[in-house]
Amino acid sequence: MAAPLPSRSRVLVLGSGNFGCCLADHLADSEHDVVLWSRNAEAVKSLNETHKHPHYLKGHTFPESIKAIGPQLPDSETLSSADVILFAIPTPGLRAILKEINNRWDPSSLPLIIFVNKGIEVGTKALTLEIIADTCGAEVAKVATFLSGPSFATEIINRQPTNVSVVSLSLQHAQRAAAVFHQPWFRCYAGNDPIGVQLAGALKNVYALAVGAASGLGYENNTRAGLITRSLAEMTRIGAAYGASPLTFLTLAGVGDLFLTCSSPTSRNYTVGYRLGKGEALKDILNTLGSVAEGVSTAEAVYEIVQDFGVHAPIATAVYEVLYRGVPLADMAQNLMSQPLANQEMDLPGRAGGPVEKLMNKLGLSLANATAA
């Protein structure tokens, strides 16, 4: 049984983007001792001297108690002194970081490990849990925890009431991670389906592109509501085929995050879709966006997964066709509305669970005992 964390924990946050910074701010305000690592030397200097970030959340003054370090990765001493390590590294760069970190920490006395990235690794189609297993081993993956849900960084910074899912194959570790974050303005709900949560976090960005594009084309509320609902159906179908629980897609990390990402111009992925709908070229949008829209790269990995499973996912497929095959957006919208009449509104695949079963075998678990890690 893992030892309980001290009420005032030493937290190392790896990554100083919008979300890493807002969570570091929240944790420092929750009276934890926070060290924030950034690969950007300018950001480290600014955070330590002025308590402001030069690129993200520019109008916010961070607590003076936050110590910024970098650009070199933390050494073994810094890693071993942390009670909690929070990975706020974008999915494309996570594997390389984990390989380096794994050579620096002591696997026999690991801190609580929390991941907040969303996405699917292009090329391997790996979820974060599998990346962890590949780089750090099964024992680390079994106790890794994941935070996800409807949580814009600017609203967390402003202490707007926020609710998130915190999950792990080990429910005990999920509950410990939830306790680190839980405050009256930041409520956490523990769960034990990290596969479903990771899929939901990646998939919702793809569907936000579709909803944004529909708005850009001039379609209004009926269209938006229909697209979000049908997107949820597709997410659930893909997740069930993968081996996740269909119920996970009804949680904060599922429908909650989908609704937020698809209904606000604050969403980067919605914004990319909206600008596509207005006729801008994808290259120009990405060059001027100022941050990463994960749905663009994730759409390619999702398309491959959909093809592998034979899952009916016309919206996800349409997003891929527009982004990577140059199909005109207006034509694809018409094609979606011209789909054949469905036999029933909601259905799940008959055969399901292959990828999750394969991953559980890699971790030395079965689907039946996975939550007892």
Q: Which residues contact 334 (CB under 8 A, 6 or more apart)?
A: none
Peptide bond into 71 cis (omega under 30): yes
State yes or no: is 204 an active-site residue. yes
Retrieve residue 122's tokens.
């292009």
Residue from 147, 146, 177 nearest 163 by CA: 147
Residue from 244, 354, 257 nearest 309 by CA: 354
Helical ranges in the chain per DSSP H: 18-29, 41-49, 76-80, 91-102, 128-136, 138-143, 153-157, 171-181, 194-216, 221-242, 257-262, 268-277, 282-288, 294-309, 314-325, 329-337, 354-362
Helix axes 221-242, 314-325, angle to 10 degrees: 100
Distance CA 78, CA 62 (A): 21
User: Out of 45, 204, 278, 362, which one is annotated catalytic?
Assistant: 204
DSSP labels, 161-179: -EEEEEEESBHHHHHHHHH
Listing from the earlier edge strand, what are the strands of the sheet with 162-168? 67-69, 33-37, 10-14, 84-87, 112-115, 145-148, 162-168, 186-191
Q: Which residues are catalytic?
A: 204
